Each structure stands twice: as C-alpha cells, then as structure tokens.
Amino acid sequence: MSKHIGYNYTTVTQAPYGDHWRNLRRIGAVEIFSAHRLNALLPIRREEVRRLVSKLAAAGSPHRRVVELKSLFRELTFDTMMRMVAGKRFYGDGDDRGSREFREVLKEVVSLSGATNPADFVPVLRWIDGGKFEKTVAGLARRTDSFLQKLIEEHRSKKEGLDSANTMLDHLLALQVSEYHTDQIIKGLVLGHVVAWTDTSAVTLEWAMSNLLNHPDILVKAREELDKQIGQERMVDAAPLLVPHASSEDCVVGGYHLPRDTLLLVNAWVIHRDPNLWEDPTSFRPERYGKGGNESCKLIAFGLGRRSCPGAGLAQRVVGFTLG
Ligand code: HEM
C-alpha cells in the first residue's frame, strides 16, 4: 500500500521519520491545521452539519422511524473534507459519474489501507499469490492518482464555477514557487488527509451516537456539556491499532527489546479496556474524563508523541459540533 497508494512512502502517514516527514507536518501545521485556517473554514463545517440535520429531519418523518446514520455520517465527513480540500461536494451535489467514481476509489483505498498483505511478512507468499494483491493495489493507485491530478488541474486553471477562494488545494498550489512542492507532494498530502479523516470521524460519530442513544441520561448531560466545551474524551477507537510504527533505531518498549526496523502495532483497543488502567473499563461513563475525573490522560485515540494525529483539533471541532 505505502509503495503504490502512498507515492512510494512519501505521504505524511507513510513517510519514515526524517526531514521529508518533518516538512510535510510543517506544511500541514501551517497550511491546513492552523487556528486561522480552521476558523476560516467554519462556515463549511456549519453548512454541512446543517444539511445533515435537515436530512435527518426529513428521514425521521412520522412514516419513517428508522434512520441509517452510518452513511449519513460518512457523507458529512467526506463532503466537509472535500469542500475544504477542493471547494466542492462529492455526495450532496456531486452525483455525476466523476464524483461517483472518486467515492468508489476512495472507499477501496480506505478498506485496503486497513488490510495487510501477508506477502510483506512472508515473501514466499508473493510467489504463490502471483503478485495479485500488488497488481490490485497498483491499479487502484493509478485510478486515485488520475482523479487527484484532475482536481489539481481544475484548480490550477481556475475552472469556472469552482469555489477556489480558500481551499487546501489552492493554498498548496500557491507554494509551488518552490521545487519541493511538486504535484506528487500535493496529491500525497490531499490523499493522506482525506483517507485519515473520513472514516475515523464517521466511525467516531457513529459510536458516540450509538452509546448516547443507549444511555439517555448521559445524552442529556452530554448535550449540556457539549454546548460548553469540546474535548478528545468523547472519541472512541476509530483506529484500534493506531497506525503501524517502525523503530528507526534499536530501542526498548515496555521492557521488550525492539531491533531497528521492527514493525510495532499498538493495540489501543486493548489498552483502552485494561482493568489495571481504568475503573470499570467497559462502561460508557463520559464523566470519568470531565471535571473531577482523572482518566483523560490515558486516552490514546489520536496516538501519542511526534507521530500523533495532526487532525485532532479539526476532528474534535467537527465531531463535537455534529453531536451538539
Ligand atoms: C476522530 C477522528 C480521528 C481519529 C480518531 C484519528 C486517529 C489517528 C491516529 C490514532 C493516528 C496514528 C497516531 C499514532 O500512530 O501514534 C492518526 C494519524 C494521522 N491522522 Fe488522524 N485521526 C482522526 C482525524 C484526522 C483528521 C481530521 C485528519 C486530517 C484532516 C487526520 C490526519 C492524520 C494524519 C495525516 C496522520 C499521520 C500522522 C503522521 O504519521 O505523522 N486525522 N490519526
């Protein structure tokens, strides 16, 4: 995956720790996640949440009591992200063939990004598989790349009717005075953020709603609290194994010696349910994180340290705003 979809390990999620990764995080911090940029994009988030509420109101009419939230949340997060990235919707208004194909391609990328290729661990399997997995991923990478390139061209040529005033693509294209900011770097940044964003936030919303609806007393309290403040404590395990890490040097983690280049998967799902760390770990008790609670420092829903999630602030804004 990292070789083909991740532009040969050059996207922010897949790049090894070093100068290039540091540069990408710096571009992200300034051009995407700065308070200034996030505040400027508030009208988009507000409009998309309003659309969701209208859809819910229509779907919950007296004749239709069952509402399928999962796909509505996915539409919300995907369209919010694509409007921030490219100035247009890919669900709501984008029912043309191009939008449908892009959605399909991204769905495949997201589902494959959680998959591992057994041949990466046991090379002989590559021979048995005949390189089938790799061919599938390479084909998907070509389709993804061609959509992203088309988006770049639309913004570069300032296509008529496109809302390009304050999009991530336009800010990144404006950096192209330097040779470092090639189309490939921009495509990798866009893809990395769209993939990291859409599913994690939709899954978080889905679980939060499911827990709240099953605990009406907490729903009332949460509504009051969400109006006052928004915090990471409402997140659940959208990324149960975080993102695979690799040791760049020999090191010791939790008493285990890890030689350089060892793949390390952090099982956040198990850590978040460890009875040695949490009181009554499987109960839905958001108050454990609020005032008087002392457990929020143990949450690693966004990872920890240098490779932790740069989109946490954005995710908290959208999830908190939508639930509120
Ligand atoms: C509820 C929503 C989200 C959750 C739960 C989440 C969770 C995570 C986790 C667990 C990691 C890996 C951290 C580690 O391995 O230590 C990660 C990395 C990352 N996330 Fe998020 N994330 C969310 C939303 C977002 C958003 C909104 C964006 C950007 C638009 C984003 C962009 C990224 C990127 C680029 C990385 C890779 C960072 C690196 O390797 O340097 N995420 N996220």
Known binding-site positions for heme? 309
pLDDT score of 231 = 44
Query: Mean of the pLDDT values across residues 303-318?
Result: 91
Pocket test for ligand 1, best of 2, 5, 77, 302 (most atoms within 8 A of CB): 302
Above 50 in pLDDT, residue 230? Answer: no
pLDDT score of 235 = 45
pLDDT averaged over every residue in the chain: 84
Q: Exposed, middle or buried by CB within 10 Å (0-12, 13-18, 19+), for 171?
A: middle
Shortest-distance Cα residue to atom 14 of ligand 1: 303
Q: How many helices (H) and strands (E) does the chain have?
A: 13, 4
Query: Is the CB–ligand 1 distance for residue 111 below 6 Å?
Result: no
User: Could you tell me the pTM of the whole model?
Assistant: 0.82
pLDDT score of 136 = 87
CA atoms in the 13 A half-sphere facing the CB of 200 = 26
Above 70 in pLDDT, residue 93? Answer: no
H/E stretch holding 136 reads helix 132-156
Query: Is the CB–ligand 1 distance for residue 232 below 6 Å?
Result: no
Query: Is the CB–ligand 1 distance for residue 302 below 6 Å?
Result: yes
Top pLDDT among 229 and 284 is at 284
Pocket test for ligand 1, best of 1, 200, 242 (most atoms within 8 A of CB): 200
Centre of ligand 1 to C-alpha 21, Å, is: 14
Query: Is the CB–ligand 1 distance for residue 77 below 6 Å?
Result: no
HEC secondary structure over the chain: CCCCCCCCCCCCCCCCCCHHHHHHHHHHHHHHCCHHHHHHCHHHHHHHHHHHHHHHHHHCCCCCCCCCHHHHHHHHHHHHHHHHHHCCCCCCCCCCHHHHHHHHHHHHHHHHHCCCCHHHHCCHHHHHHCCHHHHHHHHHHHHHHHHHHHHHHHHHCCCCCCCCCCCHHHHHHCCCCCCCCCHHHHHHHHHHHHHHHHHHHHHHHHHHHHHHHHCHHHHHHHHHHHHHCCCHHHCCCCCCCCCCEECCCCEEECCEEECCCCEECCCHHHHCCCCCCCCCCCCCCHHHCCCCCCCHHHCCCCCCCCCCCCCHHHHHHHHHHHHC
Query: Mean of the pLDDT values across residues 241-246?
Result: 88
Query: Mean of the pLDDT values across residues 96-100?
Result: 74
Q: Are 243 and 305 in contact (CB under 8 A)?
A: no
Query: Is the CB–ligand 1 distance for residue 193 below 6 Å?
Result: yes
pLDDT score of 112 = 77
C-alpha R_g of the chain? 21
Confidence band of 182 (pLDDT split at 50, 70, 90): very high
